[in-house]
Amino acid sequence: MNPPREIVRSLPQPVCALERHGVVSIMGVIQIFAWGSSYYLLAVLAKPIAVDTGWPLTSVIGGLSLGLLVAGFVSPTVGRAIQKRGGQAILVGGAVVFALGLVGLAIAPNLSSYFAAWAVLGIGMASGLYDAAFATLGRLYGAAARGTITALTLIAGFSSTICWPLSAVLIEGLGWRKTCLAYAGLHLVIALPAYLLFLPQSPAVTDEPQLYEGIVAEETRAPQRPGLFVIVACSFMIGAAIRSVMSVHLLSILQAHGLSLSAAVSLGTLVGPSQIAARLYEVAIGHRFHPMWTFLTAGCLITVGIALLPLARPAVVFGIILYGGGVGMMTIARGTVPLALFHPSGYAT
């Protein structure tokens, strides 16, 4: 039986492959600098900030913790907004908020204003990093979004590889405050106009139930399987806590092996190519299996990789490669596991 025309009109409309590749490529490049100027920022900037200002290093790093906490509180609102209106406006706003937060960091005269800037960056992370990007792709392409999510992470996986050396070079030449201003400029000059010009509008949501792959589904405001949702959320939370710690302290761990900052940065950049290699596996083979297998494999790789870091140099290198591969696969799992376990109709939420 054919679905009513009103339902068909509410579906994500087909787009040509060229347009879809263009959207993913642009979003991927923006994600590189979005992650590099927020989540990965303090891996390089934390010690220069502490030395320059005299603020305790733990307090400096605590700024990222505050930003992630704020992002967690804001994310449900962001998801509902993307589900209702699409992601373009959210991602545009995220670019502006990122810029405001980075300017706030650059001019912060004391710890209170520094924390306030990180709270603003937390709003930017909720509305401008992977979760908002994945939700936007799910809103645009429905159940077919798994491939675009994987492709996006292939590009954005170079964030630490590009931004850690870039941050080190900028700090050496400009200082940490002007480095923050430079990243703010990237959000305003590159991300903001790119989202406005090239990101397509999502189809409007009607009051009719939406159809995906021939199945009419009720539009969900919350997951229909709350027990499973709690398990998935807790698993992702624990994994995110571990990866957040490592994103800040990996270079410090490497320096504890006697490496200089430049050598630690060089070794740390192995994370990016390892992420890409794992995502290429997902493109070639992993997509044939349920996303939960991607999630479980990623957890194993991260665990073994971190366990190898305290050991001697060859084991450390291997540990970084395994850890990076696990992070690369986990990023895909973050986007694809909810899409598979719940339903595309409520994916953004």
> Is the confidence at residue 307, as pLDDT, over 50?
yes
What is the DSSP track for 199-230?
SPPPPPP-SSPEEETTEEEPPPSS-S-HHHHH
Which residues span the domain enclosing 51?
A: 5-346
Between residues 277 and 282, which one has the greater pLDDT?
Answer: 277
Choice among 178-192, 200-214, 268-282, 312-326 with the minimum mean pLDDT? 200-214
Mean pLDDT of the region 338-345: 77
Band of residue 315 on the pLDDT scale cut at 50, 70, 90: confident
Encoded tokens for 55: 């603020």
pLDDT at 121: 97
The span from the CA of 254 to the CA of 114, in Å, is 27
* Sequence-distant (≥ 6) Cβ neighbours of residue 39 within 8 angstroms: 64, 125, 129, 244, 247
Beta carbons of 295 and 337 less than 8 angstroms apart: yes
Nearest CA to 130 out of 301, 348, 293 is that of 348
pLDDT at 203: 64
Q: How many domains does the chain have?
A: 1
Alpha-helix residue ranges (DSSP H) falling in 129-204: 130-141, 145-156, 159-174, 176-186, 192-198
**Token pair 């696969």 in the structure block, residue:** 329
Mean pLDDT of the region 6-20: 47
> Is the confidence at residue 250, as pLDDT, over 50?
yes
pLDDT at 216: 39
CATH number, domain of 115, equals: 1.20.1250.20
Beta carbons of 219 and 344 less than 8 angstroms apart: no
> Is the confidence at residue 206, as pLDDT, over 60?
no
The span from the CA of 43 to the CA of 45, in Å, is 6
CB-CB neighbours of 137 under 10 Å: 29
Band of residue 4 on the pLDDT scale cut at 50, 70, 90: very low
> Is the confidence at residue 300, as pLDDT, over 80?
yes
Choice among 28-37, 138-147, 189-198 with the minimum mean pLDDT? 138-147
- Residues 137-190 have pLDDT tens digits of 888 887 677 778 888 888 887 887 888 889 989 999 999 999 999 999 999 999
Name the burial class of residue 135, with classes exposed (0-12), middle (13-18) and buried (19+) by CB atoms within 10 angstroms of its CB: buried
Band of residue 115 on the pLDDT scale cut at 50, 70, 90: very high
Statement: the pTM of the whole predicted model exceeds 0.85:
no
Q: Over the chain, what is the mean pLDDT?
A: 83
pLDDT at 83: 87
